[in-house]
Amino acid sequence: MRTGWGIEVGRESLLERLAELAKTGDVIEYLHFNWDDYGVLSLWKEGLLVFGADVFLREALEELASLNFHLLESKPSIDIHWVETKTLEDDPYRRALAGGNFDAFLEEHPVVSLGSYDPQIDLHIVKEGETLKVLSLGWYGWKQERYFEVPLEEWLDSTTALFAMIVRDFDRMRKTLVRHGFSDAPKKIGRYRALLRGLLDAYPIDVDALPPAYTPWEVEEIARTASELLFLENAEGAKCVLITLKNPNHYIHALFKIENKPEVLEKLYRILDEPYRSEMLAHLSYLYAVEGEPREGWRVAEELGTDTGFWNLALGLIRAGDYESALEVAGKIKNIWLKGEILMWLYSERPKLEERIKENAPEHVLVFIEEMKKKAS
């Protein structure tokens, strides 16, 4: 499993707090700053995003730790909230998502929301032998709900590495946080480290082999420099700056932070190494579609010929209000989840297209449409 994270407390947030203090002189308010809260978290299974949300990182880490301790059936030596368990109510749409595996979710099973802002978002997890069956519910509405299976070992490997890398990023931020007077930083980070130590005791991974840690401001700085170079039409230079980020997660984050016209971005994206080239070009077809140049978007998506390319294009077309074309693009997507997402989105925007949406829709989309109709009547 691929994982991604971002810490959204940058230099700006630190300076803003200082500027606010210069106005009010209220130190108590200034020091009341949850620097470990704001972030994003995402999980991919075989190239498919199965969870992605704005999260409170503090809660995300606590929940992830307690879930993994639960899965490992080990009791940590540190006080921690025990993972919540729930049962799922029978529901035709969810049954369609999980197929024959749905019955397992009727039993009591662990549920985590990984600290997401949106209380609806939940990962329902059933452990069967050495496999985890996961139903990802509620993120950005029905349209992105997904079912996937992942070997326990793979889950533990990637989430423990994710945990370790977030904690290391925090650790790297510590000096600056203390410099700004946030004296709770060492204490909070200490707790995360203790949790990490517990996780590693229960399930050892090679932490030294992980790519290096970066603070958010280091990533910002690199993205800014690269943007400036790109502004001067120097795509090669921008690439040279970007590849100094040796951590794939931060590298992708920096890439997404660079803003410019799609034509200019294309020059940069084209000279990137795989797999970043495909990923960013797919994003580019979205940008073209949103910026009102769907033809260019088509060109890029067709050149890539991948599901993510077409999915991005379709998403862009929906944003731009071109539902007919989006439907056409959806026909080219093979992955049922990506295709389903677009089709369900289209249905909620334009119920009139129902018949055409149904033409070659996956099973769960048909059930979704029936359910929506039932609700409406």
Partner 1 sequence: MKVEIKAFMKPLPMKECIKEAALDAVVDETVRLKGSFVSELFHPGPWERFKRCTRPRAEVELSAGGLFIARGEDDYLDFAEAILSIGALARGKFGEAVELAELTGTRLRANPEGDGIKLSFAGFYGLVKVIKGNITFSTDETTVTIPIEDFLKAEQRFLDSLAMHLGELFDVCSKHGLERAFVENTRALRFLLKVVGYENRMGY
**What Å distances lie between residue 224 and 63, 241, 244, 255, CA to CA?**
33, 10, 13, 10
CB 243, min distance to partner 1, A: 19
Partners of 42 in the beta sheet?
4, 52
Q: Which is nearer to partner 1, 154 or 228 (CB)?
A: 228
> In whole angstroms, how close is the CB of 220 to partner 1 at the nearest point?
11
57 to 12, 167, 199, 205: CA distances (angstroms): 19, 10, 17, 22
Nearer to partner 1, 146 or 250 (CB): 250
Show the tokens assigned to 191. Answer: 């707790």
Nearer to partner 1, 30 or 276 (CB): 30
Shortest Cβ 18–partner 1 spacing (Å): 5
CA distance 252 to 4: 9
H helices within 72-145, ranges in order? 92-98
Least CB distance to partner 1 at residue 225 (A):
13
Residue 291, SS3 per DSSP: coil
Minimum separation from the CB atom of position 186 to partner 1 (A): 12
Nearest CA-CA partner of 64 in 147, 164, 169: 164
- Dihedral, 48, 52, 57, 63 alpha carbons, nearest 10: -70
Nearer to partner 1, 22 or 376 (CB): 22
- Residue placing its CB nearer to partner 1 in the complex, 53 or 241: 241
Q: How far is the CB of 21 from partner 1 (least distance, A)?
A: 4
Name the token pair of 120: 């609806």
Q: How far is the CB of 173 from partner 1 (least distance, A)?
A: 13
- Per CB under 8 A, residues contacting partner 1 are 14-15, 18-19, 21-25, 27-28, 30-31, 178-181, 183, 217, 221
Closest C-alpha among 117, 183, 143, 148 to residue 46: 148
Total residue count of the chain as it appears in this document: 377
**Least CB distance to partner 1 at residue 8 (A):** 19
Give whichever of 27 and 240 is closer to partner 1, judged by the CB atom.
Answer: 27
**Roughly what angle, to the nearest 10 degrees, separates helices 276-290 and 262-270?**
170
Residue for token digits 């369609």? 96
Rg of the chain over all Cα atoms, to the nearest angstrom: 22
Nearer to partner 1, 127 or 180 (CB): 180
Neighbours of 249 (CB within 10 A): 21
Contact between residue 4 and residue 44 where contact means Cβ atoms under 8 Å apart: yes
Q: Is 26 or 201 the residue whose CB approaches partner 1 more closely?
A: 26
Reduced to 3 states, what is the DSSP secondary structure of residue 33? coil
